[in-house]
Amino acid sequence: MIKDTVGAFVPHGLFRIEGASGGPLEGLTFAAKDLFDVAGHPTSGGNPTWLATHPVPDVSSPIVDALLDAGATLVGKTITDELAYSLHGDNMHYGAPLNAAAPDRVTGGSSSGSVAAVAAHLVDFALGTDTGGSTRVPASYCGVWGLRTTHGALSGAGLVPLHRLYDTPTWFAHDADTFACVGDVLMPASDHAPSRAVLLRDVAALADPVFSAPLGRVVAALEQMFGAVTPLDIAEGQQLADWRAAYGTSGGHEGWQLHGDWITQNKPVFAPAIAARWKAASEISDEAGADARAKAAAVRAHVRSVVGVDTVAVLPSAASLAPLRNADPAEVDAVRLRTMAITCVAGIAGLPQVSMPFLSAEGVPVGISLMGPAGSDAALIRLAVKIHASVQGT
């Protein structure tokens, strides 16, 4: 059994399932966010009432099965913020896992336990999800590799949803080689060959100055590979906060359609911030939801047209360093809103985004991302590994 030194695992999630012998991931261990079904083991979705009102699954997520078939050994299930509806990483029922890379700071969420287990080297990699940033942000906060996959590229079967419009299965790893090996197993081969790089200037402007130095180093590495990196404002005069609002409203409306009856009937206890989000979701009219989906569809088409089939975009993975564990809730929410204006770009567009780990001058983790065309996940991972090695001087 895992010795959980960072509070990453849920109480009902300590078990071991050996991977098949001879596969490409043989010898590696992984954990699964407690949104993924594992046959014979309960799924809580981060909430005890969900745990009590849903049967133990008898079929695993196909992603879990694929990893086991590839030889990786599953060592348990990790904490998630309740129904994945948070970026903070503090579950009132199961705890706030420790960020081994910055113990005075939060891990971020909602994939809090998965990123904590990877950052503490309890496992080689871990499954997470990313709807509004729930992998990219924790990866940035904890100094590990993470990504948002192309929307729809991996199966959502056997996975507790939040907003199916934007949900993506994902993974973290603490080193580039493991990260890439998992990608080779899970992601379809990609023949995308980026020939152009851009800097999302308006997105970068939302991030704190601590991102400037590593962002500049990544841009310099891209210039060595592609020539000039073109700065552009992806929103083209629109407000990224309006894009974030379209994401939040369209996702909230869908989330209530998925879970509203269960919440109304079972009256689960949610943390105050998450309860407030569900209350707001319950009040979104069908008309407002439809308007927000139309806005999001226009944003999606625009971003995809800018990225095309051959462009890689560089941007910060989050708006700030990980907040301190004792930060004022109002400050935390302000950071969350600014961060989601960054993460909603790939989220709405359904594009892949890899977060590469760097350190600030003070040694605190900070993530810089590459975003690419839909379906370019495998190629984007290879490029990110190459760029990161170049920046690190290896």
Which superfamily is assigned to 11-186 in CATH?
A: Amidase signature (AS) domain (3.90.1300.10)
134 is catalytic: yes
Question: Residue 176: what are its φ and ψ, rounded to 5°?
Answer: -65, -40
Residue 190, pLDDT score: 79
Enumerate the CATH 3.90.1300.10 domain ranges in the chain, comma separated.
Answer: 11-186, 196-240+289-392
3-state secondary structure the chain: CCCCCCCCECHHHCCCECCCCCCCCCCCEEEEECCECECCECCCCCCHHHHHHCCCCCCCCHHHHHHHHCCCEEEEEECCCHHHCCCCCCECCCECCCCCCCCCECCCCCCHHHHHHHHCCCCCEEEEEECCCCCHHHHHHHCCEEEECCCCCCCCCCECCCCCCCCEEEEEECCHHHHHHHHHHHCCCCCCCCCEEEEEHHHHCCCCHHHHHHHHHHHHHHHHHHCCEEEECCCCCCCHHHHHHHHHHHHHHHHHHHHHHHHHHHCCCCCHHHHHHHHHHHCCCHHHHHHHHHHHHHHHHHHHHHHCCCEEEEEECCCCCCCECCCCHHHHHHHHHHHHHHHHHHHHHCCCEEEEEEECCCCCEEEEEEECCCCCHHHHHHHHHHHHHHHHCC
List the structure tokens of 211: 């991102």
Residue 219, pLDDT score: 97
Residue 394, pLDDT score: 52
For 196-240+289-392, the fitting CATH number among 3.40.980.10, 3.40.50.300, 3.90.1300.10, 3.30.70.100 is 3.90.1300.10
Residue 193, pLDDT score: 82
Residue 34, pLDDT score: 98
- Whole-structure pTM value: 0.97
Candidate list 44, 60, 61, 110, residue with the active-site label: 110
Candidate list 112, 134, 317, 376, residue with the active-site label: 134
140 is catalytic: no
Residue 191, pLDDT score: 79
61 is catalytic: no
The pLDDT tens digits along the chain (394 residues) read: 789 999 999 999 999 999 999 999 999 999 999 999 999 999 999 999 999 999 999 999 999 999 999 999 999 999 999 999 999 999 999 999 999 999 999 999 999 999 999 999 999 999 999 999 999 999 999 999 999 999 999 999 999 999 999 999 999 999 999 999 999 999 988 778 889 999 999 999 999 999 999 999 999 999 999 989 999 999 998 899 999 999 999 999 999 999 999 999 999 999 999 999 999 999 999 999 999 999 999 999 999 999 999 999 999 999 999 999 999 999 999 999 999 999 999 999 999 999 999 999 999 999 999 999 999 999 999 999 999 999 987 5
